[in-house]
Structure formats: C-alpha cells, structure tokens
Chain A
Amino acid sequence: MSAAIDSIEHMFDYEGMTPAAATLETANPAADTVRELQARIRSMQATTLDSRALPTHPALAALLPGGALQQGAAYSVERSATLLMALLAGPSAAGSWCGIVGVPEFGIEAASRFGIDLDRLVLVPHPGDQWLAVTAAIADVMGVVVTRPPKRASDSSVARLAARLRQRGSTLIVLGPWPQSEAMLTLSQSDWGGIGEGSGHLTERQVTVTVTNRVTGRPRSARMWLPDRQEHFGAVASAVDERMAERQLRTAV
C-alpha cells in the first residue's frame, strides 16, 4: 500500500511519471489498479480539459490522444519530416498559420504537395541562441509552431513556453524529445515501393507510425501510407479489412 501511496505522490511530480509507472508494472501485482487510478487522476488534471481540437489529418487523428491535435499542447516527432508534414497538413489546410523554427532543411516542395498552404507558412531557419524566444514569439501569433531545440531547454523555460501555448491556444510540435509533450510520434518499419535494384523510382512508402501517449504511457501504432502513389497520406487497409471488404463485395454481387 505504501508503494501505491508513493506512486500517487510521484504522480504529482510532473517529470517522474513514466518511470514510476514502468517500475510498478514489473514490481507490484496491484499495478493495474494503480495505473488505472493514475490515468483517471491525470485525465482529471490534464491540460486538455478546456482545450479544443485542431483539424487533424484523419489518418493520424485516430492515433493521437483525444482523437486530434489539441490546442495548447506539445507533441514531439522523431526524425521524420514527412510525419511532421502529415501533422501540419490538417491545420494548414483548415486555415492555420504554421511557423517552422530552426529547420533549415524543411522541404518546401514536398510541403506544398502534401497539402500545406505555403501562403500561411513562415520559416525561421536559423534562430541561433534565441530559438526559445523566437518559438515563443511565433507561438503568440500562429496556430502551429514547429521547432527543433539545438540543446536541452531548462525546465523553467519549458514551463513558461507551455503556459504561453496554453494561453494562446497554439500547438507546438518539437522535432526531438520534449519533456512535456502530449504524445511522441515515431516511425518504424518503412517499406518503399516502386524502386528495385537499379530500376523504377521511389513512389510510395508504408510505415508503422507509433504514438506514445504521455498520460497512459501506452503506445498505439498503425500501418500507414506516408505517402502513397498519389502523394496522399492514409491508413493501410489491413488484411482483415480487405477480406471483409471482399466478402461484402461478394454478398453484394
């Protein structure tokens, strides 16, 4: 029981959440109960209570906590510019301005082809040491801000930025790890199509997108076209789905 109390105490300590849950899982038989309680408490104290959802690309929306990108929240994306563009495409198409801070290699042509409106895209490729100030200034006026921290930010400045995001209702997407991110998006098992051993060219790619929720700590993944042959994003129909569709077709005939 003392362990359970301990963990609840930990819960209020913002930083230590995930490790606490991880140790509980292995050590304590009551872990499930505790985790459930933990999740309930967190959902009650979550920042997302009064936050509104941003229009999100449907392929990614299902994986994200809350079913969409949330205003005032931070997300982190690991090493994939395409995944970043997939996240930006939804809000940008719906009229949000997007700011990209500290990413000089952001592919503009790809962005416009993947559905990001270049008229509402602003780049600050080299913010230098002032990246946090620039990110905050851009977050003041734009719906979505993307940043890549050149170094670890101090906890106080991260908390200040988080408060600013909540106040302004902007969404932060960080390329790389971020201490207060709502969810972490990673990409694995990428299979390219259309290219062979010295033949063809890259046309489409299937990847597994994994979204790790900060609140529950549980990863959710899905197989996705990123992009498909028409340069769109979309979920890959699973084998079961295909069989269902086939059966429906047969019964219809």
Chain B
Amino acid sequence: MSGAIDTIERMFEHGGVTSTAPITRTMVLWAPDWPITAALRTSRVSLSSPIALIDRGMVFACSPAARAEGVKRGLRVREAQARCPELVVLPYDPVVDSRTFDTVVTGIEELMPGVQLIRPGMCAIRVRGPARFYGGEKPAGIALVALLADLGVTGARVGIADGPFTAEQAARSLHSRPGGSPVRIVPQGASAEFLAPLSIALLDQPDLVTLLRRLGVTTLADFAALAADDVRGRFGEGGAHLHALASGLDSRPVIARVPPEELDVAISFEPPLDRVDQVTFGFRSSADRFIQGLVAAQLVCTALRIELDTDAGEFSERSWLHPRSFTAADVVDRVRWQLQGSGVVDAGLSSGITRVRVIPEGVDAIGNHEVGLFGSGHDERIHHGLSRVQSMLGHGAVLTAVVSGGRTLADRQTTVAWGDRALLTRSPQQPWPGQLPPPAPATVFPVPHPVHVLDAAGGAITVDDRGALSSAPAQFSASATGRDMRTITAWAGPWPIDERWWDADTHRRAHRFQVVDAGGTAWLLVLEENLTASGAAHGPGSWWAEARYD
C-alpha cells in the first residue's frame, strides 16, 4: 500500500504521468545531408561538386563541399552563389527525399524489424532486440552503420540512449568528429548529464526557445532545473513535454511502421499474345484480383501504373488517373487503351505481350469512396457517360480544357484527356506581354491554314526590319487557292512576334494582323517570315489564318 502512495507522490514530484511512463532504450540512425544524397541519386551530379538544394529562394541543404566554401542553410540563393560561384543549384523536392529513403528503411527492416520513420534521413529502432542478437548495443549500432554502407549511404551515424530525443542528440553529437566511431552510446539513466551542456535551441519550438533565452535559460540543464510544475503552469502541456525531453525523460515509445502491403498484380503470357482482345481477356481475372486485393486492404485505387513487356524486349509504362476510383472493368479498359496506343481501335500489335503488371500509384481509404444510399449524384453519371465515349474512341478523344499562359492562341489553351490532370508549364497568371488584346477569338483553328492577302494593286505585302508595311492590305481570300477574293474593310497590325531568337532551330519571326472582311467577319492572320539559318528574312513570307472572330 505504502508503495502505491510512494508512486503517486513521485508522480507529482516529477510533474505528471509522462515522466513516470517507461522509457524505451532507443537507437536513432541519422544519415546527414539526406536531401543531398537523395538529389544525387536522381540527378547526374557528383558528390565532390558543391551542391545546394533550394526551397523558396533559400538554401535548404548543401553538400560538404559547398559547406566548406561557406554555404549554409538559410542563405539566399544569390548570396550562396556569391560565396561559391561554381555552386550547383537544384530545386528541393521532398517527394524524392521520402522515396529514396524508403528503400533504406526497407533494407533496415530486413535486418532489424520495427523501424519508426522520423523523417527522411532519420529513423528510430528499439534497441532491446538488436542488442540481444548482436551481443550488445555497440555491435548492434555498428551492424546498422555497416548495413547503410552496403546500401550506398556513407557517413551514417547512430546514437543509442534513453528515448528518441536523447538518442538523436547523441547521433548528432558525432557530427564534429569525422574519423571517430560512428556510434555513440549514452548509458541508461545518464541522459540528463549528456543533455545538460547542450543549447536550448535544440528544442524544436522557436517561440519557446526565444522566450527562454530572454528569461536567461540558455542550456537544457538550465531548463531542466526549473520545477516541472512551474513549467507546466507557465507553458502548458507542450512546455511540460519539452521540459521532460530536456530532463532526459523522453517517454515517447518507438512505434514501428507497418510495411506497406504488396498490392500490385502481374500476369505473364506464355506463349506471348499478339492481339489486343486476347490480352485484355487474359488480364480480366487479374484485374478482379487486383481490385479484390485493394478491397481486402480497405483501399480503393485512384491512380495506377501499367507496365507492358513484349517479347521483342520493348517496355511500355504509363500512369492512369481516375477521377473517382478504379473498378476491375476500368483497369481492363486502361490496359486496352495502353495497348491500342493512339486511339486506333483493333490495331494489331507489333510484337507479342509477355507480361502485364498493374501497380497502384494512388490509393485512398475505401470509406471515402463509398457509394451513398441514393447513389453518388451527378458527377458519377457524367463519368460513366464519358468513360463510355472513351471506350468507343480511345482515352485521348474526350478532353477537358484549361486556359494556360502564352503569347500565341495555340499556347493559351491546353487540353487534357478526361481523367488526367493538367500540367501547366506556362502560368496564366503571368503577364505574357505580346498576347492579343481582348476579345479572344471564338474560333481557333487547330492547324492554321494558308490564305492570301494582297494590296489594292494585287501585289504581295511585306514587312521590313523596322516593322513598316510595304502597302496596306486591301484584298483577302480565306482559301489556299486564292479564289473568292474579298475586300478588307478594316485592319490592324502588324504586331510582331520574335520568339526564341537565340535558338536557330526554333526561332520564329512573324507579324500578326486583325482583318475585317466585307462580310463583317474578322480574322486573325499571321505573316510568317521565311528565315535563313543566320536569322535573316528572305522572300515575301507566307500568310496563315490562325483564328476567326465569328
């Protein structure tokens, strides 16, 4: 009985339940500069060159070579380049980080189960199991570092201590000593002493750290010395948690991640099939299996990737999106469309298909996609209708449109197949000087067609280098043959376009005109200049109709 009272008293002494919860011996693995390692794996840059990853105009991470030149995290790009002119600047992509670290985590899981991913480049493992297997904490740590070296990650460090926070600091404390041991062990119960001299800034909460500094608390020891009740009263639960961390009483357990399930489905054909309908028929049961596997995992698939292998060694892969979620019939449709290629129905295949593999790329909880009691409303009906048209004409035949940025009319509209997501490379928000003044033409010819424009005397019209017209346009024929000449009642132009003059292959120089014919129809005409390789104009140029205001 007295023991129980004792415990309760101790609880109050330490300021709460958190501090009396059991503390897990934890091993934290830290791969320094992981964003750089990840970026190196995706781009063709060598580690010896100075690299900086940029996130929103600031240096997010830099390689050791760049750090030696004085580049550090938080610098503006321009300043980093001033310090190190040969700096290779790459954009930071958190997705690449996570994706590359996933292979490392999978590798560790083969060696030591129960890995908790803290962030890309850092993970935590319970020490107990590995320490017993390898005969001690230190051998376990060394085995882990050796495994990472096998996976091609150099410079990894391991910290072993009570709780993930102390273990992380132990791993980080190795940073300054390159030649030494890659493992640091803080003995059980010695966390507070180890943390004592460290800076308060290690607590990842800038507001609190600033305040504590102003209060004269600069080290973790100073913070830990404050009474737990006072800290809780002043800073609330969040502050009390940080106080426990600073006191070496990190009671957070290591929660092992659940390895993702294998959801992809593949089928091999022996002998290879060379007809689209044979392949789709053969794949039908696999598609059912694929969807059943997802349903068993309580998931639905919203994006998938289909890989096709042929007996000639060709390989085709493509991602398919679905505005709602894939059913087995939808998956079979996508396989068929990918086999058919550019919408040609019933085309023979150039070589036999040996293997079809479907990999889910985007999944969602099945509960979010449950059909309501009275159906899911309007959008589903539309999707079914449009899918039917797609199965008649091919995936790319049904389009949705978005307005994108650009100078020419063709640039300003982007169409994507129904179900796919639009990728805008040119933002419509930017000003795009040189675009046409409103109103926009209602008819934009997908392919401009040749027309004839002549002056009053029937002669050709040219534009000189200064942009002056040789004579006013007076007659116009909308056909390529030049028949059916109409009088021009009003016109405006020339408005020059001189695009990509630095590149001889894509250099384009043209003049745009708005022309109103006698029938009251307005046209957007373009006088394309014939350019020589050196970029000089020769000949009279050709007239094209790009759009009609009708």
> Could you mark each residue 368-411 of chain B with 1 if its beta carbon is under 8 Å from any beta carbon of chain A, else 0?
00000000000001101110110011000111111100000100
A80-B550, A137-B392, A202-B522 are known contacts. Are A107 and B441 too (CB-CB below 8 A)?
Answer: yes
A91 CB–B CB distance under 8 Å = no
A-side contacts of B521, CB under 8 Å: 190
> Could you mark each residue 208-222 of chain A with 1 if its beta carbon is under 8 Å from any beta carbon of chain B, else 0?
000000000000000
Stretch at the interface among A18-26, A31-39, A193-201: A193-201
Stretch at the interface among A51-59, A64-72, A126-134, A152-160: A126-134
A124-B389, A140-B385 are known contacts. Are A231 and B400 too (CB-CB below 8 A)?
Answer: no
Stretch at the interface among B15-23, B253-261, B350-358, B443-451: B443-451
Bound: A63/B29 CA distance, A:
76
B-side contacts of A204, CB under 8 Å: 439
> Could you mark each residue 132-154 of chain A with 1 if its beta carbon is under 8 Å from any beta carbon of chain B, else 0?
01100110111000000000000
B413 CB–A CB distance under 8 Å = yes
Which one of B415, B443, B446, B547 has the greatest number of beta carbons of chain A within 10 Å? B443
Bound: A199/B418 CA distance, A:
42
Contact, CB under 8 Å: B382 / A142: yes
> Given B398, B400, B409, B492, which contacts A199 in the complex, CB threshold below 8 Å?
B492
Nearest Cβ distance between residue A190 and chain B, in whole angstroms? 3
> Could you mark each residue 411-445 of chain B with 1 if its beta carbon is under 8 Å from any beta carbon of chain A, else 0?
01101001000000000000000000111111111
A122-B386, A190-B520 are known contacts. Are A134 and B392 too (CB-CB below 8 A)?
Answer: yes
Contact, CB under 8 Å: A122 / B398: yes
Contact, CB under 8 Å: A137 / B413: no
A-side contacts of B437, CB under 8 Å: 201-203
Contact, CB under 8 Å: A192 / B440: no
Contact, CB under 8 Å: B550 / A82: yes
Contact, CB under 8 Å: B522 / A192: yes
Bound: A106/B445 CA distance, A:
8
> Given B384, B402, B442, which contacts A81 in the complex, CB threshold below 8 Å?
B442
Contact, CB under 8 Å: A122 / B516: no
Stretch at the interface among A5-13, A40-48, A109-117, A241-249: A109-117
A29 CB–B CB distance under 8 Å = no
B302 CB–A CB distance under 8 Å = no
Bound: A104/B446 CA distance, A:
7
Q: A189 — nearest CB in chain B belongs to which residue?
A: B520
B-side contacts of A128, CB under 8 Å: 393
Contact, CB under 8 Å: B446 / A97: no
Nearest Cβ distance between residue B94 and chain A, in whole angstroms? 29
B-side contacts of A191, CB under 8 Å: 520
A-side contacts of B548, CB under 8 Å: 81
B329 CB–A CB distance under 8 Å = no
Q: A133 — nearest CB in chain B belongs to which residue?
A: B392
Bound: A117/B382 CA distance, A:
16
B549 CB–A CB distance under 8 Å = yes
Within 8 A of A (CB), among B430-486: 437-446, 469, 472
Contact, CB under 8 Å: A198 / B389: no
Contact, CB under 8 Å: A141 / B400: no
B-side contacts of A142, CB under 8 Å: 382, 385
A109-B413, A192-B522 are known contacts. Are A123 and B401 too (CB-CB below 8 A)?
Answer: yes
B98 CB–A CB distance under 8 Å = no
A108-B401, A118-B401, A130-B392 are known contacts. Are A203 and B446 too (CB-CB below 8 A)?
Answer: no
B-side contacts of A113, CB under 8 Å: 438-440
Bound: A141/B385 CA distance, A:
6
Contact, CB under 8 Å: A202 / B439: yes
Within 8 A of B (CB), among A76-112: 79-82, 84-85, 97, 104-112
A81-B443, A107-B444, A113-B440 are known contacts. Are A124 and B492 too (CB-CB below 8 A)?
Answer: no
Bound: A106/B525 CA distance, A:
17
> Given B397, B418, B446, B492, which contacts A196 in the complex, CB threshold below 8 Å?
B492
Bound: A58/B368 CA distance, A:
41
> Would you call the interface of chain A mostly helix, strand, loop, or mixed?
mixed
Which one of A84, A109, A111, A112 has the greatest number of beta carbons of chain B within 10 Å? A109
Bound: A80/B492 CA distance, A:
22
B491 CB–A CB distance under 8 Å = yes
B-side contacts of A197, CB under 8 Å: 472, 490-491
A169 CB–B CB distance under 8 Å = no
B218 CB–A CB distance under 8 Å = no
B-side contacts of A16, CB under 8 Å: none
Bound: A77/B174 CA distance, A:
78
Contact, CB under 8 Å: A141 / B386: yes
Bound: A63/B435 CA distance, A:
35
Contact, CB under 8 Å: A198 / B382: no
Bound: A195/B491 CA distance, A:
6
A121 CB–B CB distance under 8 Å = yes
Nearest Cβ distance between residue A142 and chain B, in whole angstroms? 7
Bound: A105/B415 CA distance, A:
12
Contact, CB under 8 Å: A192 / B520: yes
A-side contacts of B491, CB under 8 Å: 195, 197-198
B327 CB–A CB distance under 8 Å = no
B219 CB–A CB distance under 8 Å = no
Q: B441 — nearest CB in chain A belongs to which residue?
A: A107
A-side contacts of B415, CB under 8 Å: 108, 123
Contact, CB under 8 Å: B446 / A195: no
Nearest Cβ distance between residue B378 and chain A, in whole angstroms? 8
Bound: A175/B491 CA distance, A:
28
Contact, CB under 8 Å: B439 / A203: yes
Contact, CB under 8 Å: A107 / B547: yes
Which one of B385, B437, B469 has the greatest number of beta carbons of chain A within 10 Å? B385
Bound: A110/B401 CA distance, A:
12
A-B pairs with lowest CB-CB distance, top 6: A141-B385, A190-B520, A81-B442, A110-B440, A108-B413, A109-B440
Binding site for B on A (CB under 8 A): 79-82, 84-85, 97, 104-114, 118-119, 121-128, 130, 133-134, 137-138, 140-142, 188-192, 195-205, 207, 227, 231
Binding site for A on B (CB under 8 A): 381-382, 384-386, 388-389, 392-393, 397-403, 409, 412-413, 415, 418, 437-446, 469, 472, 490-493, 514, 516, 519-522, 547-550
Enumerate 12 A-B pairs (CB-CB under 8 Å) in ascending A order. Answer: A80-B550, A106-B444, A107-B440, A107-B444, A108-B403, A108-B412, A109-B403, A114-B442, A118-B403, A128-B393, A137-B389, A202-B514
